[in-house]
Amino acid sequence: MTARAAAAVATLALLAACSGGSAPAAEERTRPAPAASSSTPTPAPAPTPTVTYPGKEWARSEQGSWQALDADLAANGSTCVAVVKDGRLVHDAYWNGGAPAAQHKVYSIAKSLTAMLVGTYVGDGAVDLDESASRQVEQWRGSPAEAITVRDLLAMTSGRHWDDATDTRMIRSEADTTAFAVGVGQDREPGEAWVYDNTAVQTLESVLDGLDDSSDVAANADERLLDPLGMRDTTWGRDPAGNALTFSGMTSTCLDLARIGHLMLNDGVWKGRRLLPAEFVQEATSPSSRLNAAYGLLWWVNAEGRVVEVHRQAGFPADIAPYEGRLAPHVPADAFWAFGYGNQYVAVVPSEGVVAVRLGARPVTPDRVTFDGFTAAVLAALEQ
């Protein structure tokens, strides 16, 4: 066992479990080799890396030892886990009523898909992250909110009014969540504070409305993102007024969500088609401000610096104080996550070629099935 694997196993123990055959029609694409410079001798060609993508099903290649991780996940309310290595499904398991096609509420994992949807419009040139969001949100023109950029909304630094009662009212009581979110006031200048703000994220529905011929943002998300990825068991949520929910509300499966991780792992390319600009993927999975080194553009990241976690938003009684370090110190620094209520994850570790998804109920305590513990345990299991 390598040193990293041993460290990860130790972490798993301390945190009480951290927290082959072929399948039909997997598709493979080959990345083009870089062109040789005419001013230098041409080196011997290196092997061209092959990228494997799923067809209707994931290709399977069993690998790793999963007994300990599975036992812990099952005991902590999980309904499913799926692990993909180099584009092939190496492990999946189901408990507590879970099944391969059983849809589960994934809550704020939807935020990361919203970021990806925004990225498709960045690729089209329809959205500039650093332009005022009031270009689309007409109600903000001529008000303090006119200073807000699309990037500010994605980075949780918009300065919109936030308190727990406002967030709760939008989530639980408002039929037209977008109208409510757009109408909330401005507390401060953008960029002055990092606040995990569901209401501000819902204003992205107004930003996206009207960028296609159809103003149906959920239908456009299907066409631009879910359908190309083959996410047949995923439903983009709507509020009672019919607006797409951009902060939460989605239902999905472990196997479907592994597809979004695999798209991000491959810099926004899917079966030879570029769905997201590579630059956008890089920005989304890098710190978006010094206010929280663990947050990119609606994706959680693993950079060194001031870390602000959101235990209350994950369903636990209290937050912890910000701290210096990394969100997942026992995991490679290039890891990033989509994260939802109840410690649900899409974990991506590019340096290892790994995507891992965990869905299910909230663990009893926030120190179980954590960013660090879950991801480190997956990497350790792969090496055993």
**For residue range 214-231, what is the model confidence (pLDDT) as tens digits?**
999 999 999 999 999 999
Q: For position 23, what pLDDT does the model report?
A: 39
* pLDDT value for 40: 52
Mean pLDDT, the chain, rounded, equals: 90
At residue 204, the pLDDT reads 98
Could you report the per-residue pLDDT of 230-250, keeping only the tens digit for each? Answer: 999 999 999 999 999 999 999
Indicate the pLDDT class of residue 313, thresholds 50, 70 and 90.
Answer: confident
Both structure tokens of 96? 């507590």
Q: Sorting pLDDT into bands at 50, 70 and 90, what band is 50?
A: confident
Average pLDDT over residues 288-300: 98
Burial of 353 (0-12, 13-18, 19+ CB in 10 A): middle
Residue 93 confidence (pLDDT): 98
Report whether pLDDT(7) > 50: no
The pLDDT, as a whole number, for residue 44 is 61
For residue 284, the surrounding DSSP H or E stretch is helix 278-284
The answer to whether the beta carbons of residues 363 and 369 sit under 8 Å apart is yes
Q: For residue 309, is it left (φ>0), alpha (ψ between -120 and 50) or beta?
A: beta
- Split at pLDDT 50, 70, 90, the class of 11 is very low
Decide: helix, strand or coil at residue 92.
strand
pTM > 0.85: yes or no:
yes
| Average pLDDT value for residue range 282-286 | 98
User: What was the pLDDT predicted at 247?
Assistant: 98
CB 264, CB 336: distance < 8 Å? yes
Residue type, 324: E
Mean pLDDT of 46-59: 83
Q: Using one digit for the tens of pLDDT, what is the confidence trace for 119-159? A: 999 999 999 999 999 999 999 999 999 999 999 999 999 99
**What is the tally of helices (H) and strands (E) in the chain?**
13, 14
Helix (H) or strand (E) holding 53, with range, is strand 50-53
- Those residues whose C-beta lies under 8 Å from the C-beta of residue 326, and which sit 6 or more positions away, are 293, 294, 302, 303, 304, 307, 333
Q: Name the nearest CA neighbour of 265 among 203, 338, 171.
A: 338
Residue 215: CB atoms within 10 A of its CB come to: 11
Tell me the domains of the chain and their CATH numbers: 102-355 (3.40.710.10)
Q: What percent of the chain has pLDDT over 90?
A: 84
The answer for residues whose C-beta is within 8 angstroms of residue 134's C-beta and 6 or more apart is: 140, 141, 145, 146, 148
DSSP label at 44?
P
Name the residue among 233, 232, 173, 228 with its Cα closest to residue 199.
173
The fraction of the chain above a pLDDT of 70, given in percent, is 87
Q: Which residue has the tokens 């709507």?
A: 238
Q: Is the pLDDT of residue 13 over 80?
A: no
Which pLDDT value is given to residue 36?
Answer: 44
| 344-349: strand order across its sheet | 88-94, 78-85, 354-360, 344-349, 336-340, 300-301
pLDDT at residue 314, rounded to an integer: 87
